[in-house]
Amino acid sequence: MWERVCHFFRRHTEPEDPSIEFEEGLLLIVDAEQLTNNLRSKLRRSIGAEDTIVYLAEVRGAVRGFSPVGEPWPEIQGRGSGGHTSEPLPDIPTNSKMVDWFRANREILLLDNKGGVMEYLQDELGPFVTCGMDLVLPLLSMERLIGLVFVRLGQTVLSKSQLLSLQLSSKQAGLAFENALLFKERLRQNERMYRAEQLATMGQFAAGIAHELRNPLTAIRSTIQFLASEFADGSEQQKLSQITLEEVDRVNGIVGSLLSLAQPTESQPVALDPANEVGKCLAFIEARARSQNVELQVACDEPLPKSVIDPMELRQVLLNIIVNGLQAMPTGGALRIRVHRLPSPAWGPGSGGVSRVFGRGVLIEVADQGPGIPRELRDRVFEPFFTTKAGGTGLGLAICRSIVKRYDGEIWVEEAEGGGTSVRVILRAE
């Protein structure tokens, strides 16, 4: 009886155990931000945490890293520098010393520790120490590191039992966040599959229309050419005929693009150096870039692995992307073209937002200094007939994606460093 009484009073007087809070119901939450808010409130109640920042593993470009949960970047307010500072939280790459340490140790790291660990990680932990974070909690799922939780405790000093409880609860929180990430990826994949079915149906329909339009367009063009030859040079009728011919050619180009999208021509892939094809494309547009006061900034790694692709199709992709970049800067600027070797393994965005691993390959990046593309429209720019340009057909990037996917590559759009649009293409090496 005495043991039961002692147990009753201990249960009501001991500090709340955070691990008890992470019950199975937590796994029913499938939104990462909602989970973050849930974790933040539980840590505030259980250990008096003043602030919590959650980093989750995700893919950004060709590199997999850890990014803070929030839109678009949470701000940190520093107290270590003697005042409040506001700056974007840094990403944490997977090859960082911090990530390597947590993968190896899988335990809580106290940031007031002045020992060798803090000295080893000082450069990477500096921004978090500056904003007053006191400890880092790893999020683990199936022995994998999927996230990091930075906690600011304020004046609270944790006991050993509380630290142990936090360590245990990190596993449950890790499973919950892993579940949320998988659910999000599945939703994206289903959405992409549904969209792909719609586009396939649209492509078949468009191909049928294109075939029916080709013959009448040929007849119309021939008739206009004949009539134009009957008019006097420089006459108003001849000028109108020329304008009409140009419009017919524009429609013919759209028809050709539709056919190219729906029924790709037979490819002739060869092993080639992507940097050489980039150079050929830049030679085509160099004069146009000068006329627009656009500076071409080119950088290529050497040597590059060869990629197996039809050279004409690769040039079509590159020219489309480069010309789009020029059109985004009608008053001038800089167009940056980078060709990099991919590390092995490297990460790309994959279909449906799901990350995928590439072996040896090449990353081609074309970045402009134009107005940029809103985040919510970046995936849609690859849909047929969707365009952000006045007078655009919305077929160029759709054809680019069709070509790149045919060779098991990836193409996607990001915000360029300093603003503008960055289009990135991954090509597999032979």
Peptide bond into 311 cis (omega under 30): no
Query: Quick one: which of 266, 263, 250 has its CA closest to 203?
Result: 263
Distance, CA of 363 to CA of 352 (rounded, Å): 20
Q: Give the model's pLDDT for residue 2.
A: 41
**Which one-letter amino acid corresponds to residue 410?**
E
CA distances to 183, 305, 397 from 320, rounded to whole Å, are 35, 23, 7
Q: What are the start-end ranges of the H helices in 231-310?
A: 236-262, 274-291
The amino acid that residue 14 corresponds to is E
Give just the sign of the alpha carbon dihedral 290, 291, 294, 300: negative
Contact 107, 113 (CB under 8 A): no
Would you say how long the chain is, in residues? 430
Domains in the chain: ranges and CATH:
2-187 (3.30.450.40), 191-262 (1.10.287), 270-428 (3.30.565.10)
**Closest CA relative to residue 113, chosen from 102, 97, 129, 127:** 129
Spatial separation of the C-alpha atoms in residues 349 and 416, rounded to whole Å: 16
Note whether 26 and 38 are within 8 A (CB).
yes
pLDDT (tens digit per residue) in 300-356: 988 888 999 998 889 989 988 999 999 999 999 999 999 998 765 455 555 444 344
Q: What is the pLDDT along the chain (430 residues), one digit of tens a residue?
A: 444 434 443 444 444 444 444 555 566 677 778 888 888 888 888 888 888 888 988 754 444 678 788 644 444 544 444 444 455 677 788 888 999 999 888 888 888 766 788 888 888 888 888 888 888 999 888 878 889 999 988 766 787 888 877 777 777 888 888 888 788 778 777 776 776 676 667 666 766 777 677 778 888 888 888 888 888 888 888 888 888 888 888 777 777 766 666 666 677 889 999 999 999 889 888 988 999 999 999 999 888 889 999 988 899 899 889 999 999 999 999 999 999 987 654 555 554 443 444 557 899 999 999 998 888 888 788 877 777 776 666 778 888 888 898 888 889 999 888 889 999 999 988 7
In whole angstroms, give the CA distance from residue 95 to residue 139.
Answer: 17
Q: What is the pTM of this model?
A: 0.52
Residues 6+ apart with CB under 8 A from 426: 62, 342, 346, 348, 358, 361, 362, 363, 364, 409, 410, 411
Cis omega (within 30 of 0) for bond into 345: yes
Count other Cβ atoms within 10 Å, centred on residue 334: 16
By CB neighbour count within 10 A (0-12 exposed, 13-18 middle, 19+ buried), where does 422 fall?
Answer: buried
